[in-house]
Amino acid sequence: MDISVVIPLYNEAESLPELYAWIERVMIQHQFSYEVIFVNDGSTDDSWKVIESLKASHPDIVQGIKFRRNYGKSPALYCGFAKAQGDVVITMDADLQDSPDEIPELYKMITKDGFDLVSGWKKKRYDSKLAKNLPSKLFNATARAITGIKLHDMNCGLKAYRKDVIKNIEVYGEMHRYIPYLAKNAGFDNIGEKVVQHQKRLYGTSKFGLNRFVHGYLDLLSLWFLSKFGKQPMYFFGLIGSLLFLLGFIAVVLIGAMKLSALAKGIPAPLITDMPYFYLALTCILLGTQLFLSGFIAELITRNSSERNHYIIEKEI
């Protein structure tokens, strides 16, 4: 099969028939073999009924997954990826803001140009500049700086993947924003970008609020830390803990030496416990010990993890 189209959705009943008809028209025009996987993320409208109707009309093409409640976009993509069988997997939103006319070129960039992943870039947007455009630019600038992936729109829903990519990464929580970074960490670093057309929303309302930028920032830090120290946490906690402990220990020794020197010379000296430096040194020792022990415990947990020897083998001969 050439293409799997994975579409996560929440309350998009009005858009689905038009979206499917658009996808079907493009696929027939370019003679692709394909499947369309709708993942209904706990919709409260008639979205599932529409999917059932599409399935009845196109039993060999349409597949549907229905969540009992709203879990989020990442779980929807995870389940859609598990079901996808196409050599190239295309993801798009169900609100008609992503154009299926982009599919042939995205497919070519994967199969002919050799990209592992191609992310869309909505260079010209029709969203509110204050509510979405400006925060999105700040978010993407931060993501580029931390991940090293030079994408203008990392969170664009319209993406194309080589099948190996989606079968070897795990999308969880709200990590759908950082699938390119997950792919890079898994060794799929041939990541491209394509300017795509952005459509105005015709039906319904946006499902995203400003809190996604806060969550996105925290998720980005989590991914960065896991990619750097996930397999060897002692390198992070142990190093910082050892430095803090050493700094505190040296400070305590110096404070004690100053006290003993003053006593030896008969010079009145304040009590060590009256000196603020003593408490700062003690704090460094305690924090250093706790961080070192945290790294040690994390290392023990890592060694017993089922993922400790999970490596992606590209070829064998």
Tell me what the mean pLDDT of segment 216-221 comes to. Answer: 73
Residue showing tokens 């300017």? 195
Q: Token pair for residue 237?
A: 């906690």
CA–CA separation, 304 vs 231, rounded Å? Answer: 11
What ranges do the domains of the chain cover?
Answer: 3-229, 234-303
Residues 6 or more apart whose Cβ sits within 8 Å of residue 126: 97, 198, 199, 200, 201
Q: Which of 11-15, 133-137, 245-249 has the lowest mean pLDDT?
A: 133-137
Task: Identify which has the larger pLDDT, 288 or 262.
Answer: 288
Q: Please indicate, yes or no, whether the overall pTM of this predicted structure exceeds 0.85.
A: no
The string of DSSP letters for 99-159 reads -GGGHHHHHHHHHTS--SEEEEE--S--S-IIIIIHHHHHHHHHHHHHH----S-TT-S-E
Kindly report the CATH number that applies to the domain delimited by 3-229: 3.90.550.10
- Return the CA Rg of the chain: 27
CA–CA separation, 89 vs 107, rounded Å? Answer: 9
Burial class (CB in 10 A: 0-12, 13-18, 19+), 28: exposed
- In the predicted structure, residue 43 carries a pLDDT above the cut 90: yes
Query: Band of the pLDDT at 198, cuts 50, 70, 90?
Result: confident
CA–CA separation, 268 vs 238, rounded Å? Answer: 40
